[in-house]
A and B are shown apart, each in its own frame.
Chain A
Amino acid sequence: MTSLPAERGAKRLGLVIDLDTCVGCHACATNCKEWNTGGHSAPLTDVNAYQAEQRGVWFNRVHTFEAGQGADGRTVHFPKNCLHCEFPDCVTVCPTGASYKRAEDGIVLVDHDKCIGCKLCSWACAYGAREFDEDEGVMKKCTLCIDKIYNTRLPEADRVPACVATCPSRARHFGDLGDPHSAVSKLVAERGGFDLLPELGYQPTTKYLPPRPAARPLDNVGQRPRPANEDPAPAGFLRWMDRMLSR
């Protein structure tokens, strides 16, 4: 049924992505591909994998943007995947019932046996989260690793999405954003987490955390007035330590 569930539980599973700490290593995208090419959506087909014009299905893609100008300008690595929206148009436009939003945890999924590959859901998603598998002729998308997070055969610590498990800079967090007391909800409240494209009204579950303000005084550390009894400004490693401890 592609109508959105009339009665929904309180649980809203999603991610919190920290744009401050993401280093743009693409490990999330790689581990996502690795897990999901053998899971619920298997296979994530590649075409021309080892030659020119290679293309294929990926649920995570890491863009890099420049934001701000001058001293405030910064490079922001920006991982993007399905945001599991509260009002996902990709679900309601589906003519076959292949797309659905789970009432129990808000995850948006595709039943690949029902999908006719009309691509309308990809047109309805402003975030570009859905990708057409041209080999299988059906639409695929991020499942929030539904076959991992509920997998009781895995140790409990491993029951998080592949992208979260692999992130070396802890820029990705997984949890219940429907529960205001969950760790992810507190993180969002603390750091001023925001929605992407809020003006379109999809109300994504997954939130992004803004980059922290740049450490401005850093530039002046070398020039700070030094007390007369202090050693001359250090060089090399000690200079770096001096700057770090002076922040």
Chain B
Amino acid sequence: MHPAYSVIVFTTASGAGYGLLALLGLFAAAGALPADTGLGIVALGLALGLIAGGLLSSLGHLGRPERAWRAMSQWRSSWLAREGVLALLTFAPAGLFAIGWVFLNDTGGVFAGLGVASAVLAGITVWCTSMIYASLKPIRQWHNVFVTPAYLVLGLMTGALLLVLLSRLFGVWQPAFGWLAVASVLAGWAVKAAYWHHIDTARPRSDLGTATGLGRLGPVSLLEMPHTEENFLMKEMGYRVARTHAAKLRRIAHLALFALPLLLSLLALITPPLLSGIAALLAVASAGAGVLTERWLFFAEARHTCMLYYGRAA
């Protein structure tokens, strides 16, 4: 599948934003973060900025972005519409929660409830994002049980790494933040390793024989394309550039998204504040590059069943 930058930025940025928003909501509600104006502006500003920036970026994928408002209407059947509705809904408690934190310096009582509600809605939104992909039967690299956990845990993980950095920056760090970052990196690594193992080993459900129904006659192969130039399907579904470097890019993802952030997060747990803050910053930078690589691969490694008709593997 063609890895569109707009969609890669959308899923990674909003994932990190929702992860950070959820953690801010939960930890503030639990009293583990002070309702400090500066911290609120920067942390919630970053979380909501990542979410809004990601959503705006997703509009870049549309042929008619001026009609994007229509995408809310079909939530009964469409995961994309559900994602849009939930994304907008999340802004309501998150906005009120931010007002309480930044202007009233209050994250208790009703604002604690709003924080928890923001966290729950953030989780559901990311779940909906993942289901846009996981519900597509023609793409076996997406239509499997590992995709939703991967989206959820990577959102949580990138959010946790940001939380560690911000909490060091504002001197409100707690060991729980550090351990959460370490645990979420380990969980993310496990899920993605399982995902890659699955897509490498699972047998495709369909082949050219079932696609054409000619399997009954014996082996089937493409003799002639319908046309000599590339059509929309071949550009959109038949993207091959990154696939040739998939092995290398996977190693980069393992290193930048998991190995380095894990080491740096452990380092950030045991070093004094300044060093710890630097380690946290490096962890965020590394994971940022890593998650972009991972999302690029998520698209580039996905093969669409319709490409069978063009003589390619599913």
Chain A contact residues, CB within 8 Å of chain B: 1-4, 19, 26, 29, 52-55, 57-58, 61-69, 72-76, 78, 80, 89, 91-98, 114-120, 122-128, 131-134, 136-139, 194-201, 208, 210-211
**Which of B65, B136, B217 is the one whose CB lies under 8 Å from A68?**
B217
Tell me the bound Cα distance from A115 to B68 in angstroms.
9
Asked whether any CB of chain A lies closer than 8 Å to the CB of B221, the reply is yes
Report A-chain residues with C-beta under 8 Å of the C-beta of B306. Answer: 125-128
Report A-chain residues with C-beta under 8 Å of the C-beta of B216. Answer: 210
Instruction: Judge whether B226 and A65 touch: CB under 8 Å.
Output: no
Instruction: Judge whether A89 and B74 touch: CB under 8 Å.
Output: no
Which of B73-90 touch A at CB < 8 Å? 73-74, 76-81, 84
**Which of A3, A61, A138 is the one whose CB lies under 8 Å from B226?**
A61
**Which of B74, B205, B225 is the one whose CB lies under 8 Å from A94?**
B74
Chain A nearest CB from B204 CB (Å) reads 10
Report B-chain residues with C-beta under 8 Å of the C-beta of A58. Answer: 231
Instruction: Judge whether A124 and B138 touch: CB under 8 Å.
Output: yes
Asked whether any CB of chain A lies closer than 8 Å to the CB of B145, the reply is no
Report B-chain residues with C-beta under 8 Å of the C-beta of A136. Answer: 63
Cross-chain pairs A/B with CB under 8 angstroms, 8 sampled: A2-B74, A53-B229, A65-B222, A67-B218, A115-B64, A126-B206, A131-B232, A199-B206
Q: A3-B77, A132-B236, A195-B213 are in contact. Are A124 and B226 (CB under 8 A)?
A: no
Report B-chain residues with C-beta under 8 Å of the C-beta of A117. Answer: 62-64
Instruction: Judge whether B77 and A2 touch: CB under 8 Å.
Output: yes
Instruction: Judge whether B132 and A120 touch: CB under 8 Å.
Output: yes
Chain B contact residues, CB within 8 Å of chain A: 1, 61-65, 67-68, 70-74, 76-81, 84, 132, 135-139, 205-206, 208, 210-227, 229-233, 236-237, 304-307, 309-310
Instruction: Judge whether A67 and B80 touch: CB under 8 Å.
Output: no
**Which of B217, B219, B309 is the one whose CB lies under 8 Å from A80?**
B309
Instruction: Judge whether A132 and B63 touch: CB under 8 Å.
Output: yes
Instruction: Judge whether B65 and A116 touch: CB under 8 Å.
Output: yes
In the complex, the 5 A-B pairs of residues with the closest C-beta atoms, listed nearest first: A117-B63, A137-B63, A128-B306, A68-B218, A61-B226
Instruction: Judge whether B64 and A69 touch: CB under 8 Å.
Output: no
Chain A nearest CB from B5 CB (Å) reads 15
Report B-chain residues with C-beta under 8 Å of the C-beta of A120. Answer: 78, 80, 132
**Which of B64, B74, B220 is the one whose CB lies under 8 Å from A1?**
B74
Instruction: Judge whether B206 and A3 touch: CB under 8 Å.
Output: no
Please classify the interface of chain A as helix (H, G, I), strand (E, B), loop, or mixed, using the class held by over half of its residues.
loop
Instruction: Judge whether B70 and A96 touch: CB under 8 Å.
Output: yes
Tell me the bound Cα distance from A19 to B217 in angstroms.
13
Specify the chain B residue showing the minimal Cβ separation from A139.
Answer: B63
Q: A66-B223, A116-B67, A211-B217 are in contact. Are A128 and B80 (CB under 8 A)?
A: no
Report B-chain residues with C-beta under 8 Å of the C-beta of A201. Answer: 137
Instruction: Judge whether A63 and B73 touch: CB under 8 Å.
Output: no
Report A-chain residues with C-beta under 8 Å of the C-beta of B230. Answer: 53, 55
Report B-chain residues with C-beta under 8 Å of the C-beta of A131. Answer: 231-233
Tell me the bound Cα distance from A180 to B189 in angstroms.
54
Report B-chain residues with C-beta under 8 Å of the C-beta of A4. Answer: 77
Chain A nearest CB from B300 CB (Å) reads 14
Instruction: Judge whether B219 and A138 touch: CB under 8 Å.
Output: no
Report B-chain residues with C-beta under 8 Å of the C-beta of A76. Answer: 212, 214
Report A-chain residues with C-beta under 8 Å of the C-beta of B237. Answer: 122-123, 128
Report B-chain residues with C-beta under 8 Å of the C-beta of A114. Answer: 67, 70
**Which of B74, B79, B137 is the one whose CB lies under 8 Å from A96?**
B74
Tell me the bound Cα distance from A74 to B231 in angstroms.
27
Instruction: Judge whether A67 and B220 touch: CB under 8 Å.
Output: yes
Specify the chain A residue showing the minimal Cβ separation from B76.
Answer: A3
**Which of B63, B71, B132, B229 is the one whose CB lies under 8 Å from A55?**
B229
Chain B nearest CB from A230 CB (Å) reads 37
Report A-chain residues with C-beta under 8 Å of the C-beta of B225. Answer: 63
Instruction: Judge whether B138 and A138 touch: CB under 8 Å.
Output: no
Q: A66-B220, A97-B70, A132-B232 are in contact. Are A89 and B63 (CB under 8 A)?
A: no
Instruction: Judge whether A200 and B205 touch: CB under 8 Å.
Output: yes
Report A-chain residues with C-beta under 8 Å of the C-beta of B233. Answer: 122, 128, 131
Instruction: Judge whether A95 and B220 touch: CB under 8 Å.
Output: no
Q: A65-B223, A67-B220, A115-B64 are in contact. Are A95 and B232 (CB under 8 A)?
A: no
Instruction: Judge whether A118 and B61 touch: CB under 8 Å.
Output: yes
Report B-chain residues with C-beta under 8 Å of the C-beta of A74. Answer: 217
Chain A nearest CB from B284 CB (Å) reads 31
Tell me the bound Cα distance from A194 to B212 in angstroms.
10
**Which of B65, B77, B137, B208 is the one whose CB lies under 8 Å from A65?**
B208
Chain A nearest CB from B3 CB (Å) reads 13
Chain A nearest CB from B235 CB (Å) reads 8
Report B-chain residues with C-beta under 8 Å of the C-beta of A118. Answer: 61-63, 71, 80
Chain B nearest CB from A92 CB (Å) reads 4
Q: A63-B225, A124-B138, A197-B305 are in contact. Are A116 and B232 (CB under 8 A)?
A: no
